[in-house]
Structure formats: structure tokens, C-alpha cells
Chains A and B, each alone.
Chain A
Amino acid sequence: MSEEFMGYERPKGKVGIRNKIAILSSVSCVNHVAEEIAKKVDNAVAITHPLGCGQFGPDFLNVQRTLAGLGKNPNIFGTIVVGLGCENLKSEDLAKNIRRAKKPVEFFNVQDFNGGGIALIEEGIKVGSKMASEAKEVKKEPFDFSHLVLGLECGGSDSISGITANPVVGVISDKVIELGGTSILPEFTEWIGTEHLLKDRAVSEKVKTQIDTPLQKFLETTMKAGIDFRGIQPSPGNIKGGLTTIEEKSLGTIAKAGKAPIQGVLKYSQTPKGKGLWLMLEPGNDIESMTGMAAAGAQVVIMTTGRGSPVGNPIVPVIKSCGNPQTCDWLRCHIDMDASKIITEQKSIQEIADEMWLKLKATCNGELTLAEQLGFHDIAIWRYLAFPFPGIV
């Protein structure tokens, strides 16, 4: 039987699993304007952030690529970009970039509006509502999983994440890829100790270098600052929990990426150039990581957590899976998928993966995740300037 999900067709062969209107601020000065518009437009989400001005060079390009990528994400039907008018990151440029996805885009600047922010909010609601009624005309249709891009995230890990929830996600990632789809593994700091294994899975010599170079540069740069990343892992807490070596810890992390070959290494928020498994350079902040994967085009994220986490994303449903029985109980309002049955009920990783597959399909078909139901809509953008990582990204 062929596997399918019900999605929304978008231009250029893309498929969304949500049908939202994005109200995107190009600069932090107008975040409130974007929020006020989003409150009054059906299925709208405000995408706000503290950036968009006083930025230059690669940092500026990175933020621009990320914000444009969020507008381009297939879960978005159309976007209204709200600007101030004097910022670096012009709303017009952002709109032009998003328009490459051939979807509806409008832009407005507060400084260009007689009546300022209040007048812009009124106009934004009018234009947004029109967009929202057009969005409702799009009917769901069946699509195969070659249209899906899955983000692989973990946060608040504990010593059993690597033997429960993470390998379950690895089975799911491999299945999506077998069905012709795509997965993204971020968080390069947690690949350290397994570079040789990742390189063995690279599809070409070029991809091997793509894996090696940023990690080597990162280790060199941090060593100059007096930090040896290889020596501080696993942490004392990890060791107490039973993790003995850095490779054991990292193997638990990369277990989320199953056994599929690695097609390439993406910059932060860069869209994969093909199907299959891709790595993404991002240093392991959950919200930055999920924002980057959403901007790269992931329509859904599975996030494993041991200690628990409530986070979500305004564009992309985040399915939480947890292998820790106590967390599954205490943080039950945040855990979509109880992988602790591997421990408490002697379920196999495959059995939990079968349940997880049904959960993923239900989410793709429109079932709301707990983070969506609770309204968690977190956005954070990784900034290169804040990180000792020159010449790579």
C-alpha cells in the first residue's frame, strides 16, 4: 500500500501540511504591528524577531535568507511583510525574495503610511483577510511522502534519549527517505566524535569535505579561545547518567538520522538541493535550530526530549517524543508521543516507530500537535557574529 498524506498544493511542486498566512516583520521596530494584524486575520501567524537593522555582511544575509525562507515555507499560503521603512532589511527586498516561491506576498512600511502603525494595521487586516479567504479555497489533496521535508531535533536530552526516542526517530527518518522524502539533521556540535561515521555515509568526497571542514574550523577556533569541545563531552551529568565517551553521546544524537546516506551539508536555513538526508550547520539551540529547518522548507519537525520541553514553531508542527517515563507523566501536556514504553512495557524501537509513523501521518493530515494546541510559537535566528565560526557560513 502506498503511503500518502493530505496536503495543500503550492506552486513549484511544493506541498504544505498547514495553510497559514504569515505576517512577517522585517525589523523588530514593527513587531507589534505584525502581531496586531495576525490577531485579526484567520489562520494568521505573526513572525517576529529582534533583528533586521544594524546588521551587515554574512550576518545580514543569513537573517534575510532565514526570514525569506519562513515566508517561502510550504505551510504558508501567503505572506504580508511589515517594515518600518528605514531599516537595513527592507520589507520590499524581503517580499521580492519570498515572491520567488510564486505565492501571494504583499509588503507595507509604517513610515510610508499616512496614519502610521494604526492605519497600517487596518490595511494589513484588510489585505490579510482577503488572502485568508483565498487560502480557504485551496482544498486538501493526497500526496506521497516525496513531498515531505522532516526536521530532526532533540532538546533537553537525558541519558536514555539516545537509546529510546532518538533511534525511534531514526527509523522514521529512514522511512521518509525510503519513500522519496527528505530529512534534515541540525546541531553540528553534537556530531563531534562521530565525524568519521558521518563521513562514511557521505555520498561523495565533496560531501566528506563539507562535513570535515566546518567541524575542523570550529574545533580550531574554539581551541584558540581555550575551549576543547572534545574534552568537555560528555558532561559530568552525562557521565553520572551512564554515558562514558564523547562518541557514545554523539551516536545517541545522530541516531535520529537513522542509517541513510548523507547528501550534503546545508548552511543555516538553506533549502536542500535534493531528496534524502541532509546535515545543517547550527550549533544546537532548539528554537534557532527549528527556525532554521522551517526556513529551509521543513513542513514538520520531530523533537525528542528526555527532560521535557514545551517549545513549538509558528509555521511548523513540532511533534515531541520522550523516552523518560517520569517526564512523559509530569510533562504530559507537552509530550505527543510516549516512547518510554520501550522501558516500561518492553516495547521494541520498531513498535514505537510504528506508533510514531501514525502520529507523523496524523500530524501531516492536520491533527494539531500539543505545542500547536497550547500556542507555543517560538522563533529565534542563529547569528554568525555571536559565534566564533569565521569563513565557513
Chain B
Amino acid sequence: MKKSYIVMDPEDNCATSLEDIPKDKEIEIKEGEVIKINQNIPFGHKFALRDIAVGDLIKKYGQIIGIVTENIKKGDWIHTHNIKSHYLERVANE
């Protein structure tokens, strides 16, 4: 069976798609928990596993990969339109 996504670490709040996932597709992210995908997610892109508010951090590999700039809902596509580098933010303030 082909897997449509991968979660790199149990702490992550995003998943990475392993195929083009169409909008409105329902995906089981763990036993008994199904989420609806809100936009088309191209292969290799990320989507949210839960609601994440502005200013919160996105985690992949169990590490911070960005800070949220627009509220993200469970199943939303995560990319440059709603998160930005937390690292660049941090070094700019050093």
C-alpha cells in the first residue's frame, strides 16, 4: 500500500506528503483520528496535524523549522504563506 504522508518525529505538528494529496481528502493520522485536507498538498509539501496559532512554532524532525505568521487549521497546507524562518528571526535579534 502506498503511504500518502510521513511524520518524522512524534513531537511534530506537521506531516510531509509522499504524493499529491487533493483538497478534501480524508486522512487517518492516527488510529481513530481522521483529518480533512483543506488545500491541494503537492508531493514533498507539508500539512498541519492540528490547529496552530500565530506565533507558535512548527516542528519537523522534532525540531523547530519555523514560526507561524497566519493561523493554521488542522489539515492546512504549511508553506511560505503561513510560516517563516524562526532561525533568521533569532539571528536578526542577536
Contact = CB atoms under 8 A, between A and B. Distances in A.
Bind each other:
yes
Interface of A: 159-160, 163, 167, 193-194, 196-197, 230-231, 239, 241-248, 251-252, 255, 342-346
Nearest to B66: A245
A255 B85 contact: no
Given A239-B80, A242-B44, A230 B64 contact: no
A242 B43 CA distance: 8
Contacts of B43: 160, 242
B64 to A, nearest CB: 7
Given A230-B88, A244-B83, A163 B16 contact: yes
Contacts of B19: 343
Contacts of A243: 44
Contacts of B42: 242
Contacts of B88: 230-231, 245-246
B91 to A, nearest CB: 7
A251 B63 contact: yes
Contacts of B2: 343-346
* SS class, residues of chain A in contact with chain B: helix
Nearest to A241: B44
A14 B75 CA distance: 53
Contact of A245 (B1, B3, B17, B87): B87
Contacts of B17: 242
Contacts of A231: 88
Nearest to A255: B61
Given A193-B87, A230-B91, A247-B87, A343 B65 contact: no
Interface string B7-32: 01000000011110000000000000
Given A230-B91, A246-B87, A163 B6 contact: yes
Given A163-B16, A242-B16, A197 B63 contact: yes
12 contacts: A160-B43, A163-B8, A167-B8, A194-B87, A196-B90, A230-B88, A242-B44, A242-B46, A244-B66, A245-B66, A247-B64, A343-B2
A346 B19 CA distance: 12
A247 B85 contact: yes
